[in-house]
């Protein structure tokens, strides 16, 4: 089991990034990028600490009441600079509003 960060966007894209890919920054640092945001993916709305290989479940909810339950292991592990993969099909007039781990 490894520590990781789950990132989910407003339009249902997501990815898992290993925690070691996020370097520690000192005071006054400007942070690091964690997701390649595009018009198709939308902005990141959730970043959750997860463990890969543990069968941990994730519940993704939309504004119109759609719900998807999946495991962290079913979401692709990608690099910090990469875009995400489609985790949930979200209608054009809908958006992801909550992610529960």
Domain spans in the chain, listed from the N-terminal domain onward:
2-100
In order along its 101 residues, the chain shows pLDDT tens digits of 789 999 999 999 999 999 999 988 878 888 888 998 999 999 999 999 999 999 999 999 999 999 999 999 999 999 998 889 999 999 999 999 999 99
Q: How far apart are CA 33 and CA 22, in angstroms?
A: 9
The H-or-E segment that residue 39 falls in is none
Q: By 3-state DSSP, what share of the chain in percent is helix, strand and coil, each rounded to 5?
A: 5, 40, 50
Nearest residue to 45 (alpha-carbon basis) of 53, 37, 55: 37
pTM score: 0.91
């Amino acid at each position: 089991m490894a520590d990781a960060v789950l990132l989910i966007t407003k339009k249902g894209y997501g990815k898992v990034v290993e925690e070691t890919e996020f370097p520690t920054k000192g005071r006054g640092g400007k942070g690091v990028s964690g997701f390649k945001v595009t018009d198709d993916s939308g902005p990141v709305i959730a970043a959750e600490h997860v463990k890969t290989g543990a069968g941990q479940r994730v519940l993704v909810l939309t504004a119109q009441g759609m719900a998807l339950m999946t495991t962290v292991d079913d979401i692709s592990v990608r690099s910090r600079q990469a875009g995400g993969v489609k985790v949930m099909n979200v209608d054009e007039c809908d958006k992801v509003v909550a992610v529960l781990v």
